[in-house]
């Protein structure tokens, strides 16, 4: 089996470690844990690793969030990976901070990265990990909140949540989507 793991985020130091870039942070931790490293290639930073014979191709699109589908479509075609073997790592305002939700498909729920992926792949039937960032912001301040850094209280829990997210990726590769959803959607 081979998978395309897609960490969503925006390139540039000003976006590093913001709520919207949690997909990049999870992908970075996965790659670090397996002693691999990214290299910049077409439309994305890319690396490849193997877990017990299962091939994981990991990308962090460098197209900016709103054009993430361009990188996903390119790498999916380049590596001949089926759409149901894509696993997108994304932030989600509608889920409380500290919660993870893994789904086999679904709408973009207003997320511009998912919206572009759905448009370019012409489907929403691919697995995704939705990392809850909550919606604790004043009216009209959504953009500032999403592009802001996690607060000090949230940062205490981030390493554990990122580690759990990495374990869900490894579980997907080794045990499949249904088993991973059963374990991690508690």
Instruction: Give the start-to-end residue ranges of the domains of the chain.
Output: 2-184
Distance, in Å, from the CA atom of 138 to the CA atom of 18, rounded to the nearest integer, reads 18
- 59: nearest Cα among 104, 26, 15: 26
Strands 128-132 and 2-7, bridge-based pairing: unpaired
Q: Which CATH architecture has domain 2-184?
A: 3-Layer(aba) Sandwich (3.40)
Distance, in Å, from the CA atom of 133 to the CA atom of 154, rounded to the nearest integer, reads 9
The per-residue pLDDT string of the chain (186 residues; one tens digit each, 9 = 90 and over) reads: 899 999 999 999 999 999 999 999 999 999 999 999 999 999 999 999 999 999 999 999 999 899 999 999 999 999 999 999 999 999 999 999 999 999 999 999 999 999 999 999 999 999 999 999 999 898 999 999 999 999 999 999 999 999 999 999 999 999 999 999 999 998
Residues 17, 20, 34, 54: which is the catalytic one?
Answer: 20
111 noted as active-site residue: no
């Amino acid at each position: 089996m081979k998978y395309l793991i897609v960490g969503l985020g925006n390139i540039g130091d000003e976006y590093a470690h913001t709520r919207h870039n949690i997909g990049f942070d999870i992908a970075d931790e996965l790659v670090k844990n397996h002693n691999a490293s990214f290299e910049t290639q077409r439309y994305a930073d890319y690396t490849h690793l193997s877990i017990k014979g299962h091939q994981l191709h990991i990308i962090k699109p460098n197209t900016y969030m709103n054009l993430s589908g361009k990188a996903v479509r390119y790498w999916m075609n380049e590596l001949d990976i089926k759409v149901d073997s894509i696993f997108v790592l994304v932030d989600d305002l509608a889920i409380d901070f500290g919660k993870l939700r893994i789904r086999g498909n679904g709408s973009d729920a207003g997320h511009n990265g998912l919206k572009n992926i759905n448009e370019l792949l012409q489907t929403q039937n691919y697995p995704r990990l939705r990392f809850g960032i909550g919606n604790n912001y004043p009216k009209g301040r959504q953009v500032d909140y999403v592009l802001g850094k996690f607060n000090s209280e949230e940062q205490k829990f981030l390493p554990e949540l990122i580690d759990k997210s990495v374990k869900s990726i490894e579980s997907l590769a080794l045990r499949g989507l249904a088993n991973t959803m059963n374990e991690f959607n508690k």
